[in-house]
Amino acid sequence: MKDIRGLEVSAVDAGAVKILDRTAAADPAAVERFLFEARTAAGLEHPNIVPIYAWGEGEGNQYIAMRWLSGPGLDALEEKLGPERVAQIGILVAQ
């Protein structure tokens, strides 16, 4: 498992499960943002957006189940992305 800003991500078969960290889960606003992310992404269908299979609560944890993508994570980038590059990537993803 890998902890990324309050989220634990673990591989499960051909999918991945994103779990909201218990500390973040104590904040109702963080839970709402997490569920909003799940609902929003689940309603989108695009080759550049990871499909969401399910979301909810299990064993006291908020989770999002999604397709597993192989390859390096964004944290593996050698250089940090500036705002302009992030905007360019966002535009490409939206196309």
Q: What is the pLDDT of residues 28-52, one digit of tens each?
A: 999 999 999 999 999 998 887 889 9
Give the whole-angstrom CA distance, residue 24 versus residue 6.
Answer: 6
Q: What is the pTM of this model?
A: 0.66
Give the whole-angstrom CA distance, residue 41 versus residue 20.
Answer: 16
Q: Give yes or no for residue 7 having a pLDDT over 80.
A: no
Q: Which two tokens stand for residue 60?
A: 């006291």
Backbone φ and ψ for 53, nearest 5 degrees, come out as: -90, -40
Q: How confident is the model at residue 69 (pLDDT cuts 50, 70, 90)?
A: confident
Per the DSSP assignment, residues forming a β-bridge with 66 are 16, 52
Write out the H or E segment, with its range, that includes residue 32: helix 28-42
